[in-house]
């Protein structure tokens, strides 16, 4: 087993509880708890100002990795038992040496729940000749040692999920059957599977995130889309932070990958006058298309959130897989607002004045809780500039339309695919299996010949033989 082990963990790591057991090999003497050393920072903080102290705390909290060493005082000397490092960008947790592995498999150990697992040990020797051994264990790692009740509960949950999936598949399979009929009030539905793939060429080196919102326009006298009752609160979403990476190939822009998925289920609600008149197509069947609003933000090492730009796009109502590159435009702000972005703290002497509170109230209006659709875009009067940044959106749309059958009932059916009909002068030729195999072998022989003149002669011979047939 290698000395250094890597584990995938989540940030923050408060769920990590490391247990260290140290003893002598020739006796059962344990190190007393009063000898445990608590590391302290020996910096002199008395000469620091409050702003300097806050800056030092933020700089140490935003390191690329966090390290910790477990040290034991053995016979008057400090010994490093384990070194731990956590890399926040990749989510890797590095332990040197790694956690002790179980000697016996959990399924074959009858005393596992009573005495605990049997683990491999590490050894430390001293100049006096004493030999110590110790184990490293994550006390919160309970998944391999689940009790019988937990296993039974996990099995029940898995069976319930399988039943739910089976019922969902059966329901969708029944949509194309002729016996599945409903009343004439069946509504048209639209299923959207949205994926925010990446942000290309962001104008910053800090981690970026994309916030999106699906707007359903409501126009008077026209049909409109509405969310189903099950997902009324899922119109907005936000991706995780992603650091822009530049490709090694020349002339390639940087890109921040996300891969964030979101699903929307919509239904078409007709206008009141259309329902009263019984007309299925009001205003020529015009329906306001859903609009997707995007906002790109960045966050620097001081946790300041900056706006990189906004964009929007109308989603089509036709079934299929669509890829979009949404251009992002950044609003032009005043010099005062740009200077405020560079300001890290507040002056304590001006806390009692009225203008900081007013600024705080003004900024609460543009907080994260406000909908993105209320922001004024450039085409409505806001001054903005092109940034060159684009957000890649991949959208899979399924349009379910109610189709009228001969009996007068409506049933749900997917939008049919377009099938090309043969022309009037097209002649259908039936070929045997031997002819098909011979043509395939001839194509392989033609592909293996490098002389283009021989290839042209063989192809002309093949076409003349097929014409004679």
- Strand residue runs (E) in 216-362: 224-227, 236-238, 245-246, 254-269, 291-299, 305-314, 320-331
Looking at the DSSP bridge assignments, the partners of residue 363 are none
Query: Would you give per-residue pLDDT tens digits along the chain (469 residues)?
Result: 455 565 655 544 545 667 777 777 654 444 444 443 334 444 444 566 766 666 666 555 544 556 778 888 888 888 888 888 776 666 667 778 877 777 766 666 666 666 666 777 888 888 888 888 888 877 655 444 445 665 566 567 667 777 877 787 777 777 655 444 444 456 788 888 889 999 998 988 899 999 999 988 877 667 788 888 665 557 888 999 988 887 666 667 788 889 888 888 888 887 665 555 554 444 445 778 889 999 999 988 888 888 899 999 998 878 888 889 999 988 887 777 777 766 665 544 444 444 434 433 333 333 344 445 444 445 545 677 888 899 999 988 888 877 655 455 555 554 444 444 444 444 445 555 566 667 777 777 766 666 667 667 766 666 655 555 4
Query: Structure tokens of 290?
Result: 């859903």
> Distances in Å between the alpha carbon of 207 and those of 202, 275, 308, 390, 393?
10, 50, 11, 16, 19
Judged by phi (left if over 0) then psi (alpha if -120 to 50, else beta), residue 161 lies in alpha
Residues in the chain: 469
Task: Indicate the pTM of the whole model.
Answer: 0.42
For tokens 């993105």, name the residue: 372
Torsion 173-179-183-184 (CA) sign: positive
Report the C-alpha gap between 361 and 143 in whole angstroms.
47
Query: Structure tokens of 138?
Result: 């994550």
């Amino acid at each position: 087993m290698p000395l250094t082990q890597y584990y995938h963990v989540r940030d923050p790591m408060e769920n990590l509880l490391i247990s260290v057991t140290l003893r002598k090999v020739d006796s059962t003497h344990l190190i007393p708890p009063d000898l445990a050393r608590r590391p302290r920072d020996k910096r002199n903080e008395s000469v620091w100002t409050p702003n300097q102290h806050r800056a030092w705390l933020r700089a140490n909290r935003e390191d690329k990795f966090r390290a910790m060493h477990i040290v034991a005082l053995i016979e008057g000397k400090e010994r490093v038992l384990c070194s731990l490092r956590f890399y926040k960008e990749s989510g890797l947790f590095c332990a040197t040496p790694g956690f002790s592995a179980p000697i016996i498999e959990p399924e074959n150990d009858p005393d596992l729940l009573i005495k605990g697992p049997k683990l491999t040990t590490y050894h430390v020797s001293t100049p006096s000749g004493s030999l110590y051994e110790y184990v490293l264990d994550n006390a919160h790692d309970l998944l391999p040692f689940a009790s019988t009740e937990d296993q039974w509960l996990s099995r029940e949950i898995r069976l319930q999920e399988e039943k739910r999936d089976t019922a969902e598949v059966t329901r969708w399979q029944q949509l194309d059957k002729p016996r599945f009929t409903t009343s004439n009030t069946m509504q048209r539905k639209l299923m959207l599977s949205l994926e925010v793939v990446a942000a290309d060429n962001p104008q910053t080196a800090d981690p970026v995130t994309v916030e999106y919102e699906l707007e359903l326009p409501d126009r008077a006298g026209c049909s409109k889309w509405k969310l189903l009752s099950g997902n009324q609160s899922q119109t907005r979403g936000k991706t995780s932070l992603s650091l822009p990476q530049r490709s090694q190939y020349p002339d390639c822009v940087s890109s921040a990958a996300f891969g964030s998925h979101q699903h929307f289920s919509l239904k078409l609600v007709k206008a009141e006058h259309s329902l009263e008149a019984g007309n299925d197509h009001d205003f020529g069947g015009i329906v306001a298309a859903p609009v997707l609003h995007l906002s790109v933000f960045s966050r620097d090492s001081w946790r300041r959130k900056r706006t990189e730009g906004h964009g929007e796009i109308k989603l089509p109502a036709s079934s299929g897989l669509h890829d979009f590159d949404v251009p992002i435009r950044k609003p032009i702000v005043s010099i005062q607002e740009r200077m405020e972005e560079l300001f890290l703290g507040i002056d304590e002497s001006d806390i009692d004045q009225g203008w900081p509170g007013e600024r705080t109230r003004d900024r609460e209006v543009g907080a994260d809780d406000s909908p993105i659709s209320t922001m004024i875009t450039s085409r409505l009067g806001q001054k903005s500039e092109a940034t060159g940044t684009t957000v890649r959106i991949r959208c899979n749309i399924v349009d379910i339309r109610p189709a009228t059958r001969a009996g007068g009932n409506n049933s749900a059916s997917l939008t049919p695919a377009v099938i090309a009909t043969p022309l009037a002068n097209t002649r259908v030729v039936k070929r045997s299996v031997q002819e098909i195999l011979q043509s395939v072998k001839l194509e392989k022989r033609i592909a293996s010949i490098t002389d283009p003149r021989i290839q042209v002669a063989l192809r002309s011979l093949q076409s003349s033989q097929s014409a004679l047939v």
